[in-house]
Amino acid sequence: MAALFDEISQQLDFSSCGEEGSSSDNSSDDCTSSIRSPRIHSPSSACRTPRVQRHRSRNSTLSPLQCTSPIPYASWRKLRLCDSPSTPKSLLSKSSQPSSSSKIGGLQRTLRFASAAPNLIQAPFVNVNPFTPDTVRRNSEQQWRNHCRSEDNYGRRLKHSLTSSEEDDEAFLPPKRRAVQAFMLSRYESEFLELECIGVGEFGAVYKCVKRLDGCLYAIKRSRRPLAGSANEQLALKEVYAHAVLGHHPHVVRYYSAWAEDDHMIIQNEYCDGGSLSDVIVKKTVQGELFSEAELKDLLLQVSMGLKYIHSSGLVHLDIKPSNIFICQRPSTSAAGEGESEEEDDRSTSAGVIYKIGDLGHVTSTNSPQVEEGDSRFLASEVLQEDYRHLPKADIFALGLTILLAAGAPPLPQNGDEWHSLREGQLPKLPKELSPPFRGLLQLMLDPDLMKRPSARELCKHTVLREERTGRVAAQLQRELNVEKFRTAMLEKELQEARQAALSPKQNLPFWLKLPIKMGSLPKTGRLVGRKTERSMSFGCLGYGV
Ligand SMILES: Nc1ncnc2c1ncn2[C@@H]1O[C@H](COP(=O)(O)OP(=O)(O)OP(=O)(O)O)[C@@H](O)[C@H]1O
Ligand SMILES: [Mg+2]
């Protein structure tokens, strides 16, 4: 079987851009690429300090002997020991625990077999999504059990129906034929046309693809290294579980599908045409531009809406940062039609920009958290101290720092004195001062006392953020009102003219002959009421300028 998978993996080599490169997006969260080397710091205080830049290290959990990936030992060691912001302590410690790797082995089989040619004779695997609400799970578990029983019987019957000669044929077929079969079964290649690589993260490379069937664009995330025998598999599943449970929300990147192929996890997500917030921050920095305060408030409000949704589903993100917030330039269908409350009404977003939370690889449930620390630069100190009682407030903390970066704050420290002072409530200096109420709100989001930090729900209702939106909505309504007033005035004028014509002595002439010349171009059958709506209008001609 191992030989078969080796062969398949050769056939399905996704050798396109970027996969061998190191992560490119972490550094941009601080709008710089020069902060990769860690500053190991021994704190004088009792408080813990991140030992290295801790972000995810989805790839670094196996001993070289266990590792089944083709990465040579030397490179593997580099991966494991690299001082990137992506070396979470929990993964490192897990790597030394044999028990966890045996668990992974079980899961690994699940994915590998599920990804190979579907084999009816094998027992059907159904993953249990740990984020599924209890009630839904209880109902579906019973259904799965019934279903498994019937599939088991079917498998047995099918096996019996195979003649011995068929089985012999299978055994003596050259391995090449299997590889060709597997190649033809590549769902990625048969269903999608890869256009370009749009990002490389710690976990995976992301490709912009067109789905051959529907012609729509998607972002396809593929784990960079094989999942087999690594803790990456659990993390990959975590991301899929979270997406599947979260469903649709205008401010969460939409998920379409996921599957394993060639021992790599592939996730099909909504394509966000504006890239990540991190990209925009870098671009603005290069151009010497800054987000306006109104734009910052809009960003905070939108991401808070996404977080409110995630938190209300009993989950926490735990890796909020600019490179995990994606932008849609156009009003997406999901944003236009799915607003459930006034909070989700996106018609009034500034310049039509919609922010969406993505990269759910660190999501965990609030009730029984299994914390995989995110990027240390955005890590709340209580999470570092393994106090997981109020995890949503860690997301709020990371969001506060994200907004400060968008406001032009210098790169965030990975550890050390600066790291601690940020967590003691000392905000960094900004190139342009914010208004006191807004600055006060950001200060609260970073409060060392997590109980003082506002919840996502509170942020969504906060007057400092709402007044901006309320102002925009009021302006929009005023514009619409002006248009309606203009229409009414035109109709009244026409009505008056029609009445006058009716009272004039030439009553036996058709009324349209009595109309002034400017109206003569109308069709003879033209209706009086409502016909004005077909005309082009010049706003402001009656003093209703907008
Ligand atoms: N849906 C999407 N639309 C557009 N671009 C995307 C999308 N998803 C990811 N990207 C691009 O790919 C990059 C990496 O994606 P993502 O954060 O999901 O991967 P990752 O490997 O989990 O990253 P990391 O672990 O470094 O945060 C993003 O920063 C972004 O530039
Ligand atoms: Mg990411």
Q: Is 293 left (phi over 0), alpha (psi -120 to 50) or beta?
A: alpha
| Percent of the chain whose predicted confidence (pLDDT) is above 70 | 55
CB 349 within 8 A of CB 302: yes
pTM equals 0.64
Q: Domain map of the chain by residue range?
A: 188-270, 275-331+351-461
Number of H helices, E strands in the chain: 19, 9
Tell me what the pLDDT averaged over the chain comes to.
71
- Cβ atoms within 10 Å of 62's Cβ, excluding its own: 20
At residue 234, the pLDDT reads 77
**Does CATH number 3.40.640.10 belong to domain 188-270?**
no
At residue 29, the pLDDT reads 55
**Residues in the chain, overall count:** 546
Closest CA to ligand 1's atom 18: 359
Is 205 annotated in a binding site? The answer is yes
* Residue whose C-alpha is closest to residue 270's, from 298, 251, 295: 251
Highest mean pLDDT among 157-166, 361-370, 467-476: 361-370
Q: How far is the CA of 199 from the centre of ligand 1 (A)?
A: 6
**Does CATH number 1.10.510.10 belong to domain 275-331+351-461?**
yes
Lowest mean pLDDT among 173-177, 227-231, 296-300: 173-177
At residue 216, the pLDDT reads 93
Pick 308 or 535 by higher pLDDT.
308
Q: Give the ligand 1 atom nearest the CA of 56.
A: 25
Q: Give the ligand 1 atom nearest the CA of 324.
A: 17
Is 343 annotated in a binding site? The answer is no
Residues with Cβ within 8 Å of residue 495, at least 6 apart in sequence:
528, 529
CA distance 163 to 122: 18
CA distance 483 to 485: 5
How confident is the model over 232-242, as a mean pLDDT?
85
DSSP 360-420: -TT-EESSS-------GGG--HHHHTT--TTHHHHHHHHHHHHHHHHTTPPPPPSSHHHHH
CA distance 369 to 363: 9
The Cα-based distances of 33 to 27, 278, 348 in angstroms read 5, 12, 35
At residue 206, the pLDDT reads 96
What ipTM was assigned to the predicted interfaces of this complex? 0.96
Ligand positioned closest to the Cα atom of 199: 1
Enzyme catalytic residues: 319
Strand-strand pairing, 264-270 and 217-223: antiparallel
